[in-house]
Amino acid sequence: MKVLVINSGSSSLKYQLYDMTTEAVLAKGLVERIGMDSSILTHKPTGKESVTEVSEILEHNMAIRKVLDKLTDKVCGVLESIEEIDAIGHRVVHGGETFKQSALVDGDAKHEIRKLIDLAPLHNPAAMMGINASEANMPGVPQVVVFDTAFHQTMPEKSYLYPIPRVLYNKYKVRRYGAHGTSHAYVSEKAAEYLGKPIESLKIITCHIGNGASLTAVDGGISVDTSMGMTPLEGLMMGTRSGDLDPAIVPFVMNKEDLTVNEVNSMLNKHSGLLAISGTSSDMRDITDGMQAGEPNATLAFEMYEYRLRKYVGAYAAAMNGVDVIVFTAGIGENSIIVREKVCENLTYLGVELDKSLNAIRSDDPRRISTENSKVEVLVIPTNEELMIARDTFRIVSEQ
Ligand code: ADP
C-alpha cells in the first residue's frame, strides 16, 4: 500500500509518500508561501535529483495538484499514475476530547474537526484545507486524520483540569490537551524497542524540544501528563513562546501597555522565549554560539531555557514516582550536545550519569548517551511523526 502523508499549514504543505510494504519513503517535499506572490515547491524523490520550482500557487487545491504532478513526473516522479496512491494521512493539530485516536475521514469527522476550530483557530482550518484539496484531487481515496492531541487523551482529570471555575470546562472545554502527541508516542515506543523492554514496564520522560517544545510523562506507554496546555503556550520556555508565567501578568501588561487580546497573544507566542531574552534570535544554534562568544543575554537565555526544562524533568519524575528513561528528540533534543549535557549534569540526584563522549556523537540513529552505571537510561531518538501518521493510516484503511 502506498500512503501519502500531508501536513497542511495555513501557507505551507509538507508531504511524504511511503511504500508501506517496506516503510520506505519514495519522495518527500514542501510547498511554501501558498497564496503569496512566489510560491516555492521543493520535491525530493528518493534516489533522484531534487527539484525546486517557483510559481504562483494560490491555494491548497492547486498545491496538491502540483505535488501530484511532481510525484508522477517522467523525470522526478516516483509513480506511474496517481491511482497508485492507496490512502492519504493528514496531520491535524487539535482533536479536542472527540478524537482519542486517529480516524477515517467522513462527513462526521470533518464536522467534528470544524467544531474544534475554536480551540485551534490557526491550525485546524489549514488541516481542513488539506483534506478538502486531497478529496478534490483524489476522489474516492480513503483519508485518515491523525491528531497531535490524541496521545494525551489518556491524561487523568487531575492532570488535564485547570484549577479554575468548572463552568469554563463545562461550557467551553477549557482544559489541558497537550501537543506533539504523535512524536511523544513514537519516541516512547522506539525507546522501549531500543532497550528491548516492554513499554508497560517503563516510566519514560520524553523531551520533544524544537522551536515548539513539550515534555511528556509516559507511564507504562500512556501519557499521564504533558507540559503544553489548552494551547501550545504553556510549559517550557521555547524559541518565541514564553511557556509558564503568572497569568496575572496578562491583564497587568494589557492594562499598562494598552494592548488588545491579539497583541498580547502575539507577544507571548511570537516575541517571547529565547528571542525575548537573547534579544537576537529564537534559534538555539545562535544562542549557544552567542554564549560561547561570552554574550551575556545569550548566556542568560540558555540558562533560563535549561533551568526551566530541568525543572519539568524533575516534576515528571515526581508525577510518576520515578523515571527509567529520558528521551531527547526534535531539532534541539537531537542536535544540541550542550543542552543535553547541561540538563543531565543537574539530574545526578535522579541517578542520571551522562557519558560525555557518547553525547558528543552525531548520528541519525537512536542511541544511548548515559553510562552503563546510570540508573536512568538517557536516549536520543530522532522523531518521525510522518511515519507514525503513515502507519496509522495504513492500519485504519487496512481494517476497512
Ligand atoms: P520545529 O518545532 O519548527 O519542527 P525543529 O524540531 O526543527 O523545530 O527544531 C528547531 C530548533 O532546533 C532550532 O532552535 C534549532 O536551532 C535547533 N537545532 C537544529 N539543529 C541544531 C544543532 N545542530 N545544534 C543545536 N540546535 C539545533
Q: Is there an atom of ligand 1 within 6 Å of 341 CB?
A: no
Asked whether 146 and 389 are in contact (CB, 8 A), the reply is: yes
Residue 332 near residue 340 (C-beta atoms within 8 A): no
Residue 118: count other Cβ atoms within 10 Å of its Cβ.
12
* For range 372-378, the mean pLDDT: 98
Please tell me the distance from the alpha carbon of residue 124 to that of residue 114, in angstroms, as a whole number: 7
The mean of the pLDDT values for the chain is 97
Per-residue pLDDT at 168 exceeds 90: yes
Percentage of the chain modeled with pLDDT above 70: 100
pLDDT of amino acid 16: 98
Mean pLDDT, rounded, for 6-34: 96
Q: 213 C-alpha vs ligand 1 centroid, how far in Å? A: 10
Q: Assign 3-state DSSP to the chain and report helix, strand, coil percentages, each to 5.
A: 45, 20, 35
Q: Mean pLDDT over residues 103-122, rounded?
A: 92
The share of the chain scoring above pLDDT 90, in percent, equals 97
Residue whose C-alpha cell reads 509558564 in the numeric block: 244
The burial of 337, by beta-carbon neighbours within 10 Å (0-12 exposed, 13-18 middle, 19 or more buried), is given as: middle
For 213-243, write each residue's pLDDT tens digit: 999 999 999 999 999 999 999 999 999 999 9
Q: Is the pLDDT of residue 37 over 90?
A: no
| 238, 211 Cβ separation under 8 angstroms | yes
Which of the two residues, 122 and 342, has the higher pLDDT score?
Answer: 342
pLDDT for the residue 387? 97
Structural domains of the chain, with CATH: 2-147 (3.30.420.40), 196-385 (3.30.420.40)
Mutate to test the pocket of ligand 1, among 186, 285, 340 (most ligand atoms within 8 A of CB): 285
Determine if ligand 1 sits within 6 Å of the CB of residue 285.
yes
pLDDT tens column, 140-167? 999 999 999 999 999 999 999 999 999 9
Q: Which atom of ligand 1 is nearest to the CA of 288?
A: 25
For residues 330-343, average pLDDT = 98
φ, ψ of residue 173 to 5 degrees: the values are 60, 35
Cell numbers for 386:
510522518
Q: Above 90 in pLDDT, residue 123? A: no
State whether the Cα torsion 324-222-93-96 is positive or negative. negative
Distance 282 CA to ligand 1 centre (A): 10
Mean per-residue pLDDT, 125-133:
94
Based on the number of CB atoms within 10 Å of its own CB, is 280 exposed (0-12), middle (13-18) or buried (19 or more)? middle
Give the model's pLDDT for residue 121.
Answer: 85
pLDDT tens-digit series, residues 236-265: 999 999 999 999 999 999 999 999 999 999
Q: pLDDT tens digit string along 359-370?
A: 999 999 999 999
Question: Among residues 19, 37, 86, 148, which one is catalytic?
Answer: 148
Question: Does 197 have pLDDT greater than 90?
Answer: yes
Q: Following DSSP, what letter does each residue of 261-276 receive, concatenated?
A: HHHHHHHHHHS-HHHH
- The x, y and z cell numbers of residue 287, run together, are 544562542
Reply yes or no on whether 148 is catalytic: yes
Q: Binning pLDDT at 50, 70 and 90, where does residue 389 land? A: very high
Q: Could you tell me the three cell numbers for 181?
A: 502527541
Strand order across the 87-92 sheet:
51-55, 39-45, 24-32, 13-19, 2-8, 87-92, 143-147, 103-104
User: pTM of the entire structure?
Assistant: 0.95
